[in-house]
Amino acid sequence: MYIDYKLLAITNITSVEKMVDPERKNKNQKITIQQVAKEAGVSTGTVSRVLNKRPGVKSFTQQRVLEAMKRLNYLPDTAARELSLGKMATIGLNVGAGSRRLIPFFMLFLEHLTTHVQADGFRFREIPTGPHGLPEFLTDGLVLFGAHDDDPRISYLQDRNIPFVLVGRANGVRWVMPDDYDGGLQATRHLIRLGHREILHLSGLMNNQAFHDRYSGYLHALEESGVSPEKEYLLDGEFSSLGAYRAVRKAREGGLEFSAIFAASDEMAIGAIAALEDLGLDVPLDVSVVGFDDLPEIGENLTTIHQDIDRIAETAVILLKEAFEGAPVRHEVIPVQLIARSTTSRRR
């Protein structure tokens, strides 16, 4: 599909100049779409859709946004920003060391991110990670995927004044993430409500923020129900179907008894189900299984935690545009939701 990037650069509004208004703050103050969203009583994503003329916004909501823009004297300056860069701005995506790229979740995120980046008039590039965990080259702004402890990319980009957004969490920077902690809490509470107490948890690398938060939610749900967490119930599923298969099979054959599994990804949930079935166990009659992600075609019947991957990608682009504008640093946590399907049932 042909995309006229020059036209997008002119028509897709990403930042504003606040014009003279004696009732508001000083004349030279820039405002952001976050302020427009607050004025209109909508989300920043809705404002972005209106500005970029995307579908999915009801007419009366669109009118509220347009009226809020008028009250704020909201004017575009995207073209000026890109002219100051001497070119159309390029947004890069960099995957942290140790994070897997060729997985369904990442491919979905990449698809959505590319769509939002291009719709907002930017160029897009993937940036490889070098041997020291740093991007091999830099673009005008970056989206960092795969947050982990002591991530060297953050200070590296801060020292070079490169705008970036982290998909994950870190102090003092712009970031967006699903509510991983609440997801772990919802998944484990669901199993507890069904009468399960011996609940296995399949995780990945614990220095990864997402896996750590999901495990913390799991622990909270156990503790609030008076269930003592057992170390042997935490298994390393290697964030893969094969790793989960091996871990569950080894645990069960080693005599570990459990009636439910909370896997920190749909991939690991599917691997766990395959292991249970090969051992002659029925899912969910013998063992209930909950995943995390709600990936299409991975497990259509899987009870899982749904996260809005498209909204995460869209918010990452919004936050990066705010970084270009010099807006205050902020972050967003995207809600998640338990989707109960056929892999969980009441404990027999």
Site of tokens 């609940």 = 199
State both tokens at 179: 């509510």
pLDDT at residue number 89: 87
Average pLDDT over the chain reads 86
84-177+309-334 belongs to which homologous superfamily? Response regulator (3.40.50.2300)
Distance, in Å, from the CA atom of 94 to the CA atom of 137, rounded to the nearest integer, reads: 10
State both tokens at 95: 């995957």
Which H or E run includes 165? strand 164-167
Structural domain boundaries in the chain? 5-82, 84-177+309-334, 180-307
Q: Which amino acid is at 331?
A: H
Q: How many residues does the chain have?
A: 348
Burial of 59 from C-beta contacts in 10 A (0-12 / 13-18 / 19+): exposed
Burial of 161 from C-beta contacts in 10 A (0-12 / 13-18 / 19+): exposed
pLDDT value at 34 more than 50: yes
pLDDT-derived band of residue 36, with 50, 70 and 90 as boundaries?
A: confident
CATH (residue range 180-307):
3.40.50.2300
Nearest to 264 by CA among 291, 245, 231: 291
Domains 5-82 and 180-307 share a fold: no
Helical spans, DSSP H, in the chain = 5-11, 33-40, 44-51, 59-71, 78-85, 104-119, 152-159, 180-193, 209-224, 241-253, 266-278, 309-325
pLDDT at residue number 167: 95
Distance, in Å, from the CA atom of 2 to the CA atom of 302, rounded to the nearest integer, reads: 38
Higher pLDDT, 149 or 271: 271
Q: What is the pLDDT of residues 51-66, one digit of tens each?
A: 766 677 888 888 888 8
Computed on alpha carbons and rounded to an integer, the radius of gyration of the chain in Å comes to: 23
Assign domain 5-82 to a CATH class.
Answer: mainly alpha
Task: Using alpha carbons, list the distances in angstroms from residue 40 to 43, 46, 62, 265, 322.
Answer: 9, 10, 9, 37, 18
Q: Is the pTM of this model over 0.75?
A: yes
Distance, in Å, from the CA atom of 338 to the CA atom of 203, rounded to the nearest integer, reads: 18
pLDDT at residue number 44: 76
Higher pLDDT, 20 or 66: 66
